[in-house]
Amino acid sequence: MVFRRACISQIGLLDDSIPGIDDWDLWIRIAEIFPVAAIETPVLVWRQSTAISAQGSSDTLDLIERSRRRFRREWVHLPRVAGAEPEKRKFVWQAFSKNIAEHLAWESFAAVRTAQIIRASRGLRTLLQLHPAAVAGLARRWTSASTTATLLKALVDRAELPNAREHFKQVRSNLPRR
């Protein structure tokens, strides 16, 4: 993200009361007021945190819950969202929910894979709170024969986890399986 200093003067700094999503909140507040352009070309390599890395983004379930609460309490009340047609607001919430639901499903699967049953149940509970209707869509996408086979292999053999993650990314983005 590149922006002018004047943006920060107008919208304020990072909100340290929401660690892990403070940057996301900043981008949303910038986009609320200023025009934004995106490029498709990757400009950095991102290293995904893990639950044991102790980085701010390492507890995905907590970040998702914070994001859900922030979306419902703050982001939907921003002027552009609040002034949008009800159908558009519903579409935005469903798109947000679908994206987050896919993350929750993967996090729950990964927790089951490592016998973290409480973590898996937290993920599923958050998923149901987030958008109960998303569960049906997830079930359709995650119960195809190839996805089920890939996930079962990953449950049995840890070496298959990267294949399952790649398959998951393709299912999530609706790309054809290679």
- Domain chopping of the chain, boundaries: 5-142
pLDDT digits 0-9 by tens, 132-172: 776 677 777 667 777 778 877 877 787 887 777 777 767 66
Residue 160 DSSP class: G
- Distances from the Cα of 61 to the Cαs of 51, 66, 81, 94, in angstroms? 10, 9, 25, 19
pLDDT given at position 85:
92
Question: What pLDDT score does 175 carry?
Answer: 43
pLDDT digits (tens, 9 = 90+) for 33-77: 898 888 888 777 766 655 555 555 556 777 877 887 888 888 888
Cα atoms found within 13 Å of the Cα of residue 50, Cβ hemisphere only: 4
- pLDDT band at 174; cut points 50, 70, 90: low
Residue bearing the bigger pLDDT, 139 or 127: 127
pLDDT at 113: 76
- Return the closest-CA partner of residue 110 out of 95, 125, 97, 123: 123
The two tokens of residue 11 are 């919208």
Q: What pLDDT digit, counting tens, does each position of 77-89 carry? A: 888 888 889 998 8
